[in-house]
Structure 1
Amino acid sequence: MTPHQIAEVLDRPHSRALLARDITRLSYVAADGTPRCVPIAFTWNGREVVCCTTRNAPKLVSLRRDPAVALTVDTEVHPPKILLLRGRVELDDVDGIPEEYLQMNGSYDMSEEQRVAWETEVRSLYDGMVRLVITPTWAKLIDFETTLPSAVEELVRQRAERQPA
């Protein structure tokens, strides 16, 4: 896909709503060669998906070896809205707590007192984190209104071809 095509997909209203959600599913190939898919908090900065993880996270070994990733952000209602992304991850080791980490976890329902306690705990636990910065190289929105999974699109075409004219 071209950058323009990716931007067109990501600028659709359903895509923008999905990119404002809290959790994505990050898929990558683990060190043992098997696939992994893990839920992870994220934020969208308008160009990149940013996730944060601990410096000792096992996924970092795999992502350093093979930076190809896929992401899924979706809804839990019918009809589902699904944003599929592919890209390459860049790992950025950061001293302290990345601002994105505080931002992405700021959307959870917490009282001000809970928020202060949570942030104090985070700052006492982590001396640094790794930012996972993913620039999309491919994007597809499935909204079941204007777009469908490619296999379903194929079935719709085949059905139309079978219909008498």
Structure 2
Amino acid sequence: MTTPNETTEILNRPLSREMLARDITRLAYVAKDGTPRNVPVGFSWNGTEIVMCTALNAPKLAHLRQNPAVALTIDTEVHPPKILLIRGHAELDVTDGIPDEYLEMNSTYQMTPEQRVEWEAGVRSLYHEGMVRIVVTPTWAKLIDFETTLPSAVEELIQQQAERQASDS
């Protein structure tokens, strides 16, 4: 586990900041029946929290109310992959109208100004009753770049390999 200071240090690294500027995270949570769920969702980072927005009737909300523990994965599609893993607890904030974060998190999609106006009008019509902000304050983080940081199991195997090679010498 990381301490709050270690978590902050990890999230402030340049690569983490780059990852936190991406569009999509994978939100993992536990459903009411005890089985895991993992859904891709748009997000924004405000410097201390990850904010995701969803419909008032989204099934994940009932699960998050019952068990707010979540894990997030933000990663790249290149080799070697860059992966930011985050854990925390979801707080649900019901809003009137469309949260600013929802409009901001979708601003990186390539749209013409006309498409953007049409998209925003559609969003406002669809979610006219409001949305729910899912707010996660990170309590744990790990950054894996496969160059300077590795998954802990791989680090352990490399250490064992080095020990074997040293004993064979």
Which TM bucket (shorter chain)? over 0.9
* CA positional deviation for 1:14: 1.1
1:87 match: secondary structure = strand
CA distance in structure 2 between the aligned counterparts of 1:12 and 1:80, rounded to whole angstroms: 16
Which residues of 2 match residues 1-165 of structure 1 at below 5 A?
1-126=2-127, 127-164=129-166
* CA positional deviation for 1:111: 0.3
Cα displacement string for residues 6-57 of structure 1 (whole angstroms, at most 9, x for unaligned residues): 0110111111110000000000001222100000000000000000000000
CA distance in structure 1 between the aligned counterparts of 2:34 and 2:158, rounded to whole angstroms: 36
- Structure 2-normalised TM-score? 0.96
Gaps of 5+ in 1: none
How many residues are treated as equivalent by the alignment? 165
CA distance in structure 2 between the aligned counterparts of 1:31 and 1:115, rounded to whole angstroms: 37
CA distance in structure 2 between the aligned counterparts of 1:138 and 1:53, rounded to whole angstroms: 24
- Structure 1-normalised TM-score? 0.98
Runs of 4+ displaced beyond 4 Å = none
CA distance in structure 1 between the aligned counterparts of 2:34 and 2:101, rounded to whole angstroms: 30
* CA positional deviation for 1:162: 0.8
CA distance in structure 2 between the aligned counterparts of 1:32 and 1:102, rounded to whole angstroms: 33
* CA positional deviation for 1:99: 0.1
Gaps of 5+ in 2: none
2:136 match: secondary structure = strand
Q: How large is the Cα RMSD of the aligned pairs?
A: 0.7
